């Protein structure tokens, strides 16, 4: 941080150097004063020069200090974490653009620099976004791993799809950002989803659902469902033709009528599987981003409606 230069006001009517090369001029104002009033004149001129010099120094130094100078505030690695930060009243820059698959984001040099000088970085560990975890190695601010303290299944990071687990994440983010009370309030809103899911999925004709990738394991466990994924936790993995045929046979035997796909990856595999098994397709959103006009809460409600229809719930 560069120190502001001291403003020199030792002689009236003469320019003096200040920060950035600016010149400060102080000239007498008003009619000439008589020699008999020299002492009073010197006092008046000195007072005016002092006021002008102090005011100029304040203006010049306005950008010289502050703990957050040069920082990038709060950064969230992807949408649910940015949503939680915004929900407690703190704007967070979302590193994952709308419509992008967060698992595979590549960071620009500017985004890496933003992470490393940010005051707070909200992220998920366990290899969810390797580029973000690599950039964090040079970070100087607070690093908040949203998965810390949450019971996980192996390396599956999709805890935000289970309202109970995500409420823990929301509270952690609220506390980390200095808004614990707001975090508690937002967590209660998230937990209200748990009540809706429990009631909505309590009485269904079937308990199995087919998804394009294994993002819904925590949700399935919470509400006594069985997730049948086409691919694993990584949505870019490709099953073999033999695995697809075996899965199509399973869908037929269990009389599953819906194969779910998601917005951010190609629906090709889901469409192929549905065609071979006589099922149809529908969207079940892993909420890794949000389309314009949608939020985490609205997308969770949409998912509940899609599941109730596919599982033939009463």
Q: For the segment 213-247, what is each residue's pLDDT rounded down to a tens digit?
A: 899 999 999 999 999 999 887 766 678 888 889 99
At residue 52, does pLDDT exceed 50?
Answer: no
Question: In terms of pLDDT, which residue wins out, 98 or 259?
Answer: 259
At residue 16, does pLDDT exceed 50?
Answer: no
Listed residues 61, 89, 117: the one ending a domain: 61
Mean pLDDT is lowest, of 51-55, 187-191, 207-211, for 51-55
Strand pairing category for 208-213 and 120-123: unpaired
- The CATH number of the domain holding residue 180 is 3.40.50.1980
* Domain annotation covers residue 284: yes
* Domain annotation covers residue 144: yes
d(CA 193, CA 301): 8
Could you list the residue range(s) of the whole structural domain that residue 23 is in?
16-61
Q: Are residues 210 and 169 in the same domain?
A: no
Using only C-alpha atoms, the chain has a radius of gyration, in whole angstroms, of 30
- Tracing tokens 């791993």 back to the chain, one arrives at 145
At residue 100, does pLDDT exceed 70?
Answer: yes
* Domain annotation covers residue 1: no
Give per-residue pLDDT as tens, 147-203.
Answer: 999 999 988 999 999 999 999 999 999 999 999 999 999 999 999 999 999 999 999
At residue 9, does pLDDT exceed 60?
Answer: no
pLDDT value, residue 72: 62
pLDDT value, residue 240: 84
Listed residues 196, 229, 248: the one ending a domain: 196
Q: How many domains does the chain have?
A: 3
Mean pLDDT is lowest, of 64-73, 126-135, 301-310, for 64-73
Q: Are residues 221 and 253 in the same domain?
A: yes
pLDDT value, residue 20: 39
Q: Are residues 101 and 165 in the same domain?
A: yes
What band does 23 get if pLDDT is binned at 50, 70 and 90?
very low
pLDDT value, residue 236: 64
pLDDT value, residue 124: 95
* Domain annotation covers residue 255: yes
Mean pLDDT of 202-217: 95
Q: Are residues 140 and 224 in the same domain?
A: no
Question: In terms of pLDDT, which residue wins out, 34 or 288?
Answer: 288
Mean pLDDT of 266-277: 91
Q: Are residues 170 and 78 in the same domain?
A: yes
pLDDT value, residue 239: 82
Q: Distances in Å between the alpha carbon of 117 and those of 33, 111, 120, 142?
A: 57, 10, 9, 10
At residue 92, does pLDDT exceed 60?
Answer: yes
pLDDT value, residue 227: 96
Q: Are residues 192 and 275 in the same domain?
A: no
Half-sphere exposure of 301 (CA within 13 A, CB side): 7
Mean pLDDT is lowest, of 35-44, 85-94, 181-190, for 35-44
Q: Are residues 188 and 213 in the same domain?
A: no
* Domain annotation covers residue 2: no
Max CA pair span of the chain? 113
Mean pLDDT is lowest, of 100-104, 178-182, 202-206, 309-313, for 100-104
pLDDT value, residue 104: 85
Mean pLDDT of the residues in the chain: 82
Q: Are residues 78 and 159 in the same domain?
A: yes
d(CA 87, CA 177): 11
Give per-residue pLDDT as tens, 54-85.
Answer: 344 333 333 333 333 345 699 999 999 999 99
Mean pLDDT of 27-45: 44
DSSP character string of the chain: -PPPPPPP-SSTTS-EE-GGG-EE-----SSPPPGGGHHHHHHHHHHHHHHHHHHHHHHHHTTS--TTTT---EEESSHHHHHHHHHTT---EESS-TT--GGG----HHHHHHHHH-SEEEE-TTTTSHHHHHHGGG--SEEEETTTTS--STT---GGGSHHHHHHHHHHHHHHTT-HHHHHHHHHHHHHHHHHHHHHTSSBS--EEEEEES--HHHHHHTT-EEEEEE-SSTT----HHHHHHHHHHHHHTT--EEEE-TTS--HHHHHHHHHHT-EEEE----SS--TT--HHHHHHHHHHHHHHHHTB-
Q: Are residues 96 and 185 in the same domain?
A: yes
């Amino acid at each position: 941080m560069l120190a502001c230069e001291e403003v020199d006001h030792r002689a009236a009517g003469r320019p003096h150097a200040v920060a950035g090369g600016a010149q400060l001029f102080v000239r007498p104002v008003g009619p000439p004063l008589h020699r008999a009033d020299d002492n009073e004149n010197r006092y008046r001129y000195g007072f005016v020069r002092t006021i002008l010099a102090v005011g100029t120094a304040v203006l010049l130094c306005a950008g010289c200090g502050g703990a957050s100078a040069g920082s990038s505030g709060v950064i969230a690695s992807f949408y649910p974490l940015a949503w939680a930060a915004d929900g407690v009243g703190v704007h967070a820059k979302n590193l994952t653009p709308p419509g992008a698959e967060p698992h595979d984001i590549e960071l620009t040099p500017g985004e890496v620099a933003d992470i490393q000088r940010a005051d707070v970085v909200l992220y998920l560990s366990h290899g969810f976004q390797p580029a973000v975890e690599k950039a964090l190695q040079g970070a100087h601010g607070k690093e908040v791993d949203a998965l810390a303290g949450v019971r996980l299944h192996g390396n599956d990071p999709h805890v935000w799809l289970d309202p109970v687990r995500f409420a823990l994440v929301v509270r952690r983010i609220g506390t980390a950002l200095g808004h614990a009370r707001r975090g508690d309030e937002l967590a209660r809103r998230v937990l209200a989803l748990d009540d809706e899911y429990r009631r909505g999925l309590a009485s269904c004709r079937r308990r199995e659902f087919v998804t394009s990738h294994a993002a819904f394991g925590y949700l399935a466990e919470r509400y006594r469902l069985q997730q049948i994924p086409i691919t694993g936790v990584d949505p870019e993995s490709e099953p073999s033709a033999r695995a697809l045929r075996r899965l199509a046979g399973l869908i037929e035997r269990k009389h599953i009528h819906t194969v779910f796909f998601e917005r951010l990856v190609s629906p090709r595999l889901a469409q192929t599987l549905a065609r071979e098994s006589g099922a149809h397709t529908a969207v079940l959103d892993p909420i890794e981003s949000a389309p314009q006009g949608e939020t985490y809460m609205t997308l969770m409600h949409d998912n509940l409606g899609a599941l109730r229809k596919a599982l033939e719930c009463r």
